[in-house]
């Protein structure tokens, strides 16, 4: 690491980066998200477990993590280096539950608190069957020189996932990785993948070739040396341990580990040599931070884009539904079928076409005569109910289509299927949707009748209104609202439905005047669409709420970029 007379700016920059990494999240299953989630966890762990502790305690003892594959003899090697049984070993796998950290009693203060590996609970005393990977067992031994600590890590290829994850975490917290393998397993893919990662991150590595038959020693060492050279680890120390009979305590012959013990002891005793190892590893870790954090920032940006795509995909069907409802309200389609039949009962459409040319007053008189003769309440109510049914069906149909369309869109996008699985109700309209639609239409019809009353109160139209009735005028205004031209029908329009609206418009013009009819129809249409917007917005909001439950900070990528820039600036 480059020497800094004042490391405070660097520490602050790393802490800022740590906060940005912690604030990021990758909840949506976009492409390659599993690898990026692993990268985030490993990055956060290394910042907490190694980079920050080492930056703030550069003189703390060198931490040597002993790691390797299942059955490589790590615990036996650790016990043999210490000269005592301090880590449980055996033929049953996995054997390492809690990780074991052996240190000199004079160095207890460096490890008893949460300075390193803060996520692991501290234990002391003899191992038990209740130990688990979330614990760190501390063992003080005078056989370990001051300035050095050995950490016996779980198997990197353990059948227990928690053990594998912890092994990787501990290796990232090491100043020095003592990689233990055997003559039969030194070419396994898993450890070499981790060795490559160690090389990329600048971790200091030493290799122990364990259980080597005497007659295979030269060949195996030469082959391993070639592989290390290709991996960029040609300068790493290599220690070979012959296949040997263990002592009654389960320890290797002292001669087989003496060279290794001496090398570790010299590192502990020589502050300059120890500093070189520590600083090389710390420098490599710091160098790796910007690239790994940049990759994480890109992954966070991909999450934000995926969330935006999901939001847009949910909104589009509702925007389309709103447009189709507006078109259905205005294109005259609601003036057919049941509505037309009820209108014919109300005034008799064919007769009124013949009467249109006789003048508005005669049309008005004829309608009033018919209404008096038939009794107007039932036909008006029937027509109003038919209009209610038609409008409600129009809105409900497009609302249901929007819900299905939004769900269909989500299934085609990353993360959408998972969100739908979390809330299956999103694939259809909300349970209260139909009731809300019915209430919407009833309340709108009330709005229209109130508009008619208000308009009548400001004009000298009482007699005419009495002739037709408030409800009768109201339903005729609704007919005009549902015509294609919104209160500006022309005689050139043809068709029975259009003719029905023409008759209604002429009558309304006789009561209120043509300009007032235009204004009333436009206002009534606006009120209806406003209520439609409210209902559709609430339906669409269910998707926004589902996305809102996804823990995404919209500023996380920007925060990471700022932290990366700051770290580059101080380095």
* Torsions phi, psi for 290 (to 5 deg): -65, -40
Q: pLDDT tens per residue, the chain (571 residues)?
A: 444 446 899 999 999 999 999 999 999 999 899 999 999 999 999 999 999 999 999 999 999 999 998 889 999 999 999 999 998 765 444 554 678 999 999 999 999 998 899 989 998 877 666 667 788 999 999 999 999 999 999 888 888 888 888 889 999 999 999 999 998 888 888 888 888 888 888 889 999 999 999 999 999 999 999 999 998 888 999 999 999 999 999 999 999 999 999 999 999 999 999 999 999 999 999 999 999 999 999 999 999 999 999 999 999 999 999 999 999 988 877 877 776 667 666 665 444 444 444 444 454 555 555 444 444 455 778 888 888 999 999 999 999 999 999 999 999 999 999 999 999 999 999 999 999 999 999 999 999 999 888 887 655 555 555 556 788 888 888 888 887 554 444 443 334 445 566 777 877 887 788 888 889 999 999 999 999 999 999 999 999 999 999 988 889 999 999 999 999 999 8
Find how far residue 560's CA is from the centre of its chain: 17
The Cα–Cα gap between 44 and 20 comes to: 10
The Cα–Cα gap between 326 and 320 comes to: 10
H/E segment holding residue 209: strand 204-212
CB 510 within 8 A of CB 361: yes
Tens digits of residue pLDDT in 160-206? 888 888 889 999 999 999 999 998 888 888 888 888 888 888 889 99
Of 65, 274, 263, 258, which Cα lies nearest the Cα of 149? 65
The Cα–Cα gap between 254 and 64 comes to: 20
Integer CA distances (angstroms), 184 to 69, 188, 209, in order: 11, 9, 10
The Cα–Cα gap between 334 and 390 comes to: 6
Tens digits of residue pLDDT in 117-135? 998 999 887 766 666 778 8
Interior CA angle at 498 toward 492 and 504, to 5°?
A: 105
Tokens 């007769």, located at residue: 351
By DSSP bridging, strand 148-152 and strand 135-140 are unpaired
Of 176, 167, 233, 243, which Cα lies nearest the Cα of 200? 233
For 21-83, strand residue ranges (E) read: 62-68
Side-chain-side CA neighbours of 53 within 13 Å: the count stands at 25
b/e 78-89 (16+ beta carbons within 10 angstroms → b)? bbbbbeebbbbb
- Sign of the Cα pseudo-torsion (416, 422, 427, 431, in order): negative
CB 487 within 8 A of CB 520: yes
Tokens encoding 196: 């490559």
Tokens encoding 107: 């160095």
Integer CA distances (angstroms), 364 to 24, 40, 116, 431, 471, in order: 71, 78, 93, 45, 16
């Amino acid at each position: 690491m480059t020497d800094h007379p004042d490391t405070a700016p660097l520490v602050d920059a790393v802490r800022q980066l740590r906060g940005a990494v912690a604030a990021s999240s990758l909840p949506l299953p976009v492409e390659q998200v599993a690898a990026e989630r692993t990268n985030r966890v490993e990055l956060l762990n290394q910042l907490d477990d190694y980079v920050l502790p080492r930056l703030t305690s550069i003189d703390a003892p060198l931490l040597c993590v002993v790691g390797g594959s299942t059955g490589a003899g790590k615990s036996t090697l650790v016990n043999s280096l210490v000269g005592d049984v301090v880590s449980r070993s055996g033929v049953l796998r996995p054997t390492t539950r809690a990780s074991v950290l052996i240190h000199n009693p004079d160095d207890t203060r460096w490890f008893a608190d949460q300075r390193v590996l803060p996520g692991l609970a501290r234990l002391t005393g003899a191992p038990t069957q209740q130990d688990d990977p979330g614990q760190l067992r501390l063992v003080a031994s005078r056989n370990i020189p001051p300035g050095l600590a050995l950490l016996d890590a779980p198997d990197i290829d353990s059948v227990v996932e928690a053990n594998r994850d912890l092994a990787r975490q501990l290796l990232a917290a090491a100043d020095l990785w003592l990689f233990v393998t055997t003559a039969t397993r030194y070419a396994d893919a898993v450890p070499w993948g981790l060795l490559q990662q160690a090389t990329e991150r600048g971790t200091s590595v030493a290799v122990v070739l364990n259980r080597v038959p005497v007659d295979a020693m030269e060949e195996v060492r030469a082959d391993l040396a070639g592989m290390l050279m290709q991996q960029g680890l040609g300068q790493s120390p290599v220690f070979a341990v012959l296949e040997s009979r263990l002592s009654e305590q389960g320890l290797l012959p002292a001669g087989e580990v003496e060279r290794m013990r001496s090398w570790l002891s010299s590192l502990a005793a020589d502050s300059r040599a120890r500093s070189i190892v520590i600083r090389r590893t710390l420098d490599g870790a710091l160098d790796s931070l910007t690239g790994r954090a940049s990759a994480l920032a890109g992954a966070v940006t991909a999450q934000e884009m995926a969330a935006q795509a999901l939001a847009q995909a949910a909104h589009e069907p509702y925007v389309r539904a709103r447009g189709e409802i507006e078109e259905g309200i205005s294109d005259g389609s609601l003036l057919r079928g049941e509505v037309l039949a009820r209108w014919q009962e109300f005034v008799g459409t064919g007769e009124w076409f013949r009467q249109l040319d006789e003048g508005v007053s005669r049309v008005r008189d004829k309608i009033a005569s018919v209404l008096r003769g038939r009794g107007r309440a039932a036909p008006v109510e029937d027509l109003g109910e038919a209009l209610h049914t038609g409008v409600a069906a129009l809105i409900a149909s497009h609302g249901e289509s929007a819900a299905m369309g939004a769900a269909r869109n989500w299934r085609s996008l990353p993360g959408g299927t998972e969100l739908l699985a979390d809330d299956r109700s999103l694939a259809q309209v909300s349970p209260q949707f139909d009731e809300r639609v019915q209430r919407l239409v009833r309340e709108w019809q009330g709005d229209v009748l109130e508009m008619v009353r208000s308009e009548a109160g400001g004009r000298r139209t009482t007699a005419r209104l009495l002739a037709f009735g408030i409800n009768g005028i109201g339903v005729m205004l609704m007919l005009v609202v549902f015509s294609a031209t919104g209160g500006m029908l022309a005689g050139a329009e043809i068709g029975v439905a259009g003719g029905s609206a023409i008759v209604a418009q002429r009558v309304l013009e006789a009561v209120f005047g043509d300009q007032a009819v235009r204004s009333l129809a436009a206002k009534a249409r606006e009120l209806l669409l406003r209520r439609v917007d409210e209902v559709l917005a609430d339906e669409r909001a269910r998707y926004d709420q589902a996305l809102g439950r996804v823990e995404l900070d919209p500023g996380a990528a920007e925060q990471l970029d700022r932290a990366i820039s700051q770290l580059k600036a101080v380095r």
